Structure 1
């Protein structure tokens, strides 16, 4: 009986959050945006583009598979040791730091609390705990090797990050490089293909693919795809000086609005195309070697 009540309550909460989120989406259409430089609210870390000092993690500090949460800890917005954090605190800090909509900020920590079998309202967690495999953390990440290969998900893989940033084909207004939706789809295609080849325990589902595209799409929404801003975030897990979220909507980035980026990114993923390209590259290399061998004989 208790399980039925719990499940019913969970369904009711989700329905309420989605309706709340859509209402905020509509309100954003008819209310003025925050002014540039005023996105982070007064009294919050990052207000007027002034972020707390960056301090890299030390031995014993807890970090997750999420660069943005780690950056919050590295700047002291969350506890620097990454431990003993309440889910409610996470909600509020994400809201003020990144200008996600309050519906979004409730949904994700609540989801994390649920998969850890904890109370969103009462319990606490360490950052590394939310890297539970196949919950928020998943195979085919653009910044981490798969957990089966590298169990510690608290640090970025710099080669993967370099490969991702090198995909940028767009340009910001100042002419600096920018990731686009097709760039991100292409990067995810390559990463998923390579992960399948290198990890015998690789797993994939529609849910994990959508979650992967969602995680990746924050690079396009919150960071505007700017390579200058993403480089310190993905390599050092710190905020670029004078950075602020690119989402200026009065009620923040809603899940409804976010899907306008996430779904095109996921639709553009094509691992079969990558497979054909890799096969063609391998055939060309083999032919080159064969010609070189023939010449030297």
Structure 2
């Protein structure tokens, strides 16, 4: 005699499905999506931040599509399409350089190098500053004293002078420029991250995590880093603009990579060609405006992110 199985109530099935969907990973993903949606909703309220973001998207698209729009041979000095130092015309909207190359194509191609160097140098700088700031705030004691005195020394030293010294000693390449900028611009980030780490370490749940056996790595990676990450992201956007300006300065001084085209390199070529004394303004203005616009765009984005992530700043929208 077979016994009929009792059908399971719908409520039990619903609760089982609800428990399955409410796994820790699913809840974490849901919270991240909700947090990103709230961030974007607040960020859109900042007109300056939206202007900066639109400008960055435009420059990024120009840099990514440069091989298709201007071609990879735009930097070649052999077979240049125009006459040297030709003023702007229908064929060359921004004129030509001292070799007869199309300046519009050179400015678009130079965006690839300038943006790449700025991004990588900023990432290196923020990574060094974040590691030093978190470890100094977490461990404290003699380690924090020594590392903060080193940070103070880097703060009082002129950043550009240190970068020039490193770029002069090392070989002239993009890697040297990135290293020179990255290892000289981290102290501000280290100071900010250390202050935020000290504030996070004083919260009660950090004491509970330590009482439950959480080690140093667990405290720093699971509790401190997520809380200082918004500050790190905002600081990154601000440092990128400074890194782009520093790269342009090093290239203008002849310390960049001579084999690549960058905005600072174009300004240095214009100086060598005597564009200032001869009045060839089209050789100087386009790369200078491009540097100023990108630096301004990153600064506007950084300020808007600061206002969203820290509403107490009260930054005007």
- The TM-score, its normalising length taken from structure 1, stands at 0.28
Q: Rg larger in 1 or in 2?
A: 2
Select the structure that is richer in helix: 2
TM-score of the superposition, structure 2-length normalised?
A: 0.27
